[in-house]
Amino acid sequence: MKITQRTFDAVIVGAGGAGLRSAIQLSESGLKTAVITKVFPTRSHTVAAQGGVAASLGNSEEDHWHWHMYDTVKGSDWLGDQDAIEFMCRKANEVVIELEHYGMPFDRTDAGKIYQRPFGGHMSNFGEKPVRRACAAADRTGHAMLHALYQRNVRANTQFFVEWMALDLIRGAEGEVLGVVAMEMETGEISIFQAKATIFATGGSGRMFYSSTNAFINTGDGLGMTARAGLPIQDMEFFQFHPTGVYGAGVLITEGVRGEGGILRNSAGERFMERYAPNAKDLASRDVVSRAMATEIKEGRGCGPNRDHVLLDLSHLDPKVIMQRLPGIREISIQFAGVDPIREPIPVVPTAHYQMGGIPTHYSGRVVAPRDGDPDAIVPGFYAAGECACASVHGANRLGTNSLLDLLVFGKSAGDSVIEDVASHPKSLPDLPANAADYSLSRLARLDGQVDGESVHEVQLALRRTMQDHCGVFRFPDLLKEGVSEIMAVAERVGRSGIKDKSKVFNTARIEALELDNLIEAAKATMIGAATRQESRGAQARADFPERDDINWLKHTLWYREDNRIDSRPVHLKPLTVDTIELKKRTY
């Protein structure tokens, strides 16, 4: 096969918020920059974000980055790196105002400033009372943000490779990253993108769960490529679940439904939240409600023939309330649950929403991996930002609206670091190893040559079921133990999967098979991380270890693909300029 070689100063994989923000930095500084993306940039999953982006602008009332930092550390259940969190919260105003200058149509106050709304977990004065910190563009914040960033890139002459899929990282003899191998979907042709710097901004891996709010594209490709290249993935056991995704579909039903009086019921019709949270009941926080639902299901009080979901009942509400105050909910229920919520309850389950873990990075966006006793050793030439990266600002649990902020801050800082690193090594491109594309080619050849291959669709389904059943919102020791062996069995099946259609042009079956190679790596990291960590912290809730254990587990998990090796890195408890936010029990 003919392999084209392309050379750039920097190649960015991913054109969501993080990738586009990095690209602006690079292109505007004059570096020759390529952005590779599986879908057109403005179809990246960032479009789905509605809630907003956090910044302590203080436009509606007094606010301070230090209060934002406190909320984020507390939200992270103290697993977040405090230097990275200080960095992000201090930079928030700057990146949000920059975005405004790029043309982002933020909602405004009468005085013309960016309007700010309240959001769960945003507090003033170190946890005292709620503060308005979320900046939004109606209910299309992510969409508006991505469009503003894309337009700015067009202006800066960023070169886009749209409908290209990156397959593998290229590493040199010293472990440095030299670029990626990628496939053009339209032709099936393979190219090498050689670059002085490679930035991953490939988004999340939420598709690993049977019930997921994520679009199909979120298959953890950056994690798969990183793991196959021998580098570790961090803290994947921390996956945020939303309590009410439509059963079987995953589409998110907003908290607002319970706010308007919607009630969760088990198979006996019981309003079970009264037992778990006598005061807040159905309006208790996301993790409390999700865990209560998981317990009802695990103890046999789930609904339906498989007793695997609960019901969200709105039928007692005035139909006018449903139609007027909850627009869209009725359409979602009819489309994806086949029920009209005016008459029948909606089947729901806790649904995977956001990956807190990812490729370990320094707050400068540089990827790190322990080497020669240094837990924070930099991997030369390699950078990551956004949901695929773990800076780690979200620690064990992300605060709403901090993810869009993460994209802007770390997208930008990864770009700045590349500019700095390229300037300090002005020499021409490093040599590629002779066989740079061989590994990817062998994966493609395996897929094309597979005899009697197992259906990609079925193996993917087995993967998602295994993760949902064994590594869901509430983790039980027996289920985790089985889960580890089952996910390894699924991994073997992934290695034998095959496709019938071997054509070249936009072969979705081949793309899905390649995505499955990535999803399985992310899934193993998640399952094995969850089985290893013997404590409950943030999103990791273990029935057998119900408490946080700072003596043994205040550290980041690192998972390596080879032999499923587990290692760890210390949490950075020391911020950049302020005092450490001391460990406390996380209560709201």
Partner 1 sequence: MDEHAARLHRLRWHCRRALLELDLVFQRYWQRVGDDVDAEQAAALERLLEMEDHDLWELVSGRCETTDPQLNGLVERLRQV
Looking at 76-190, list the stretches that DSSP marks H as alpha helix, in order from N- to C-terminal side. Answer: 82-101, 141-155
> Which member of 28, 29, 32, 42 binds partner 1 (CB under 8 A)?
42
Question: Is 324 a binder of partner 1 (CB under 8 A)?
Answer: no
Question: Is 147 a binder of ligand FAD (CB under 6 A)?
Answer: no
Tell the smallest beta-carbon distance from residue 167 to partner 1 (Å). 16
The interface region with ligand FAD, picked from 22-30, 199-207, 438-446, 565-573 by CB under 6 A, is 199-207
- CA dist 458 and 516 (Å) reads 11
Contact by Cβ (8 Å): 568, 552:
no
> Which member of 116, 205, 214, 417 binds ligand FAD (CB under 6 A)?
214
Tell the smallest beta-carbon distance from residue 272 to ligand FAD (Å). 26
Residue 125 φ/ψ region, left for φ over 0, alpha for ψ in the -120 to 50 degree band, beta for the rest = left
- In 18-127, beta strands by DSSP E: 33-37, 53-54, 116-124
Query: How far is C-alpha 380 from the chain's CA centre?
Result: 24
Smaller CB separation from ligand FAD, 159 or 564: 159
* Binding mask of the shown chain, residues 507 to 536, with x at each position contacting partner 1 by CB under 8 A: xx--x-------------------------
74 CB-side CA count, 13 A: 18
Question: Is 36 a binder of ligand FAD (CB under 6 A)?
Answer: yes
User: Residue with the closest Cβ to ligand FAD?
Assistant: 16
**Residue 286 annotated in active site:** yes
The interface region with ligand FAD, picked from 80-88, 292-300, 384-392, 443-451 by CB under 6 A, is 384-392
Smaller CB separation from partner 1, 215 or 573: 215
Question: Is 189 a binder of partner 1 (CB under 8 A)?
Answer: no
Query: Which of ligand FAD, partner 1, none binds 335 (CB below 5-8 Å, type-dependent)?
Result: partner 1
The interface region with ligand FAD, picked from 211-219, 291-299, 376-384, 528-536 by CB under 6 A, is 211-219
Nearest 5°: the CA angle 360, 361, 363 is 145
The interface region with ligand FAD, picked from 40-48, 55-63, 171-179, 320-328 by CB under 6 A, is 40-48
Orientation angle between helical segments 65-75 and 82-101, nearest 10 degrees = 120
Question: Is 52 a binder of partner 1 (CB under 8 A)?
Answer: no
- CA dist 571 and 553 (Å) reads 10
Tell the smallest beta-carbon distance from residue 37 to partner 1 (Å). 11
Question: Is 404 a binder of ligand FAD (CB under 6 A)?
Answer: yes
> Which member of 81, 86, 221, 282 binds ligand FAD (CB under 6 A)?
221
Query: Which of ligand FAD, partner 1, none binds 300 (CB below 5-8 Å, type-dependent)?
Result: none
- CA dist 12 and 10 (Å) reads 7
DSSP 3-state of 574: coil
* Binding mask of the shown chain, residues 95 to 134, with x at each position contacting partner 1 by CB under 8 A: ----------------------------------------
Query: Which of ligand FAD, partner 1, none binds 17 (CB below 5-8 Å, type-dependent)?
Result: ligand FAD
> What are the helix and strand counts (H, E) for the chain?
16, 22
Question: Is 426 a binder of partner 1 (CB under 8 A)?
Answer: no
User: 258 to each of 156, 310, 311, 566, how far by Cα in Å?
Assistant: 45, 14, 12, 40
Rounded-to-10 torsion of CA 475, 585, 349, 279 = 130
Query: How many residues form the binding site for ligand FAD (CB under 6 A)?
Result: 44
Query: Which of partner 1, ligand FAD, none binds 166 (CB below 5-8 Å, type-dependent)?
Result: ligand FAD
Question: Is 444 a binder of ligand FAD (CB under 6 A)?
Answer: no
Question: Is 197 a binder of partner 1 (CB under 8 A)?
Answer: no
- CA dist 520 and 173 (Å) reads 27
Residue corresponding to tokens 């300090």? 424
Which residues lie below 8 Å from residue 559, measured CB to CB, with a gap of 6+? 227, 232, 233, 234, 236, 524, 525, 528, 529, 565, 566
| One-letter amino acid for residue 410 of the chain | F
Question: Is 477 a binder of partner 1 (CB under 8 A)?
Answer: no
Q: What is the 3-state secondary structure (H, E, C) of 265-303?
A: ECCCCCCCHHHHCCCCHHHCCHHHHHHHHHHHHHCCCCE
> Which member of 137, 165, 317, 337 binds ligand FAD (CB under 6 A)?
165
* Binding mask of the shown chain, residues 328 to 347, with x at each position contacting partner 1 by CB under 8 A: x--xx-xxx-x---------
Catalytic residue among 286, 330, 493, 548: 286
Question: Strand order in 233-234's β-sheet?
Answer: 233-234, 555-559, 566-570
Question: Is 213 a binder of ligand FAD (CB under 6 A)?
Answer: yes
Smaller CB separation from ligand FAD, 19 or 453: 19
Query: Which of ligand FAD, partner 1, none binds 221 (CB below 5-8 Å, type-dependent)?
Result: ligand FAD
Question: Strand order in 239-246's β-sheet?
Answer: 239-246, 346-355, 310-313, 263-265
Q: How many Cβ atoms from other residues are within 10 Å of residue 382's Cβ?
A: 26
Query: Which of partner 1, ligand FAD, none binds 185 (CB below 5-8 Å, type-dependent)?
Result: partner 1
**Nearest C-alpha neighbor of 204 from the set 526, 566, 472, 572:** 526
- CA dist 13 and 183 (Å) reads 12
Question: Is 142 a binder of ligand FAD (CB under 6 A)?
Answer: yes
Tell the smallest beta-carbon distance from residue 355 to ligand FAD (Å). 8
Tell the smallest beta-carbon distance from residue 580 to ligand FAD (Å). 26
Question: Is 202 a binder of ligand FAD (CB under 6 A)?
Answer: yes
- CA dist 86 and 56 (Å) reads 12
Query: Which of ligand FAD, partner 1, none binds 250 (CB below 5-8 Å, type-dependent)?
Result: partner 1
The interface region with ligand FAD, picked from 3-11, 12-20, 295-303, 304-312 by CB under 6 A, is 12-20
Q: What is the DSSP string of 444-457?
A: HHHHHH-TTPEEHH
Question: Is 500 a binder of partner 1 (CB under 8 A)?
Answer: no
For 555, the token pair is: 């550290």
Contact by Cβ (8 Å): 329, 251:
no
User: Interface residues with ligand FAD (CB under 6 A)?
Assistant: 13-19, 36-39, 44-46, 48-53, 141-142, 165-166, 201-204, 213-214, 217-218, 221, 252, 353-354, 386-388, 401-404, 407
Task: State the catalytic residues.
Answer: 286
